[in-house]
Amino acid sequence: MHIHAYEKIWLALSIVLILFLLGSVTYGAVGPGVAMVADSEAQIDANALDEDDRFAEPRVEQVGENEYEAYVVAYQFGFDPSPIVVPEDSTVTLQITSRDVIHGFEVAGTNANTMAVPGEVAEVTVEVGEPQEYGIVCNEYCGAGHHGMEGKLHVVTEEEFESEDGGDSE
Partner 1 sequence: MSDALEAEETFLDRYPAEAKIVRSAFLGSFLALTLGAIFGIIQTLHRTGIFRGIIDSSDYYTVLTAHGVFLVISFTVFFLVGLFTWAVVRSLDRPLVNIKITWTWYLLMAGGMTMTGISILAGFVDAIDMSADVLYTFYAPLQAHPLFYTGLAVFIVGSWLAGADWFRTWLAWREENPNERIPLQTFMVLTTMIMWYIASSAVAASVLIFLLPWSLGLIESVNPTLTRTLFWFFGHPVVYFWLMPAYLLWYTVLPSIAGGRLFSDPLARVVFVLFLLLSTPVGIHHQYLDPGIAEGFKFISMTNTMFLLLPSLLTAFTVVASVEYGARQRGGTGVFGWLRLLPWRDPAFTGMMLAGLMFAAGGFSGMVNAGMNVNYMIHNTIWVPGHFHLTVGTAVALTFMAATYWLWPQITNKPIYSSQIGLFQVVLWFIGMALMSNAMHAQGLLGVPRRTAEPEYSGFDYPVAFGGFEELNVQIAIGGTLLFLSTVLFIGNLVLTMGNPRVSGIAETLRPALSGPDDAPEVLDDLRIWVGIAVTLVVLAYALPLAAIINDGGLLGPGVGTYPVWIDAAVGTLADVAVPAAWSLVDALAFLGFRLLDAAASGVVA
Identify residues 85-114 at the interface with partner 1 (CB under 8 A): 100-102, 104, 106-114
Does 125 help bind partner 1 (rule: CB under 8 A)?
no
CB of 17 to partner 1, least distance (A): 7
Binding mask 36-75 for partner 1 (x = CB under 8 A): xxxx-xxxxxxxx---------------------------
Assess contact for 127 and 96: CB atoms under 8 A: no
- The nearest distance, CB 60 to partner 1, in angstroms, is 18
The site that binds partner 1 (CB under 8 A) totals a number of residues, namely 72
Return phi, psi of residue 73, to 5°: -110, 125
Amino acid at 140: E
Our CB check for partner 1 shows the closer of 59 and 152 to be: 152
Residues 6+ apart with CB under 8 A from 14: none
Strand partners, 43: none
Cα 65 to chain centroid distance, Å, stands at 21
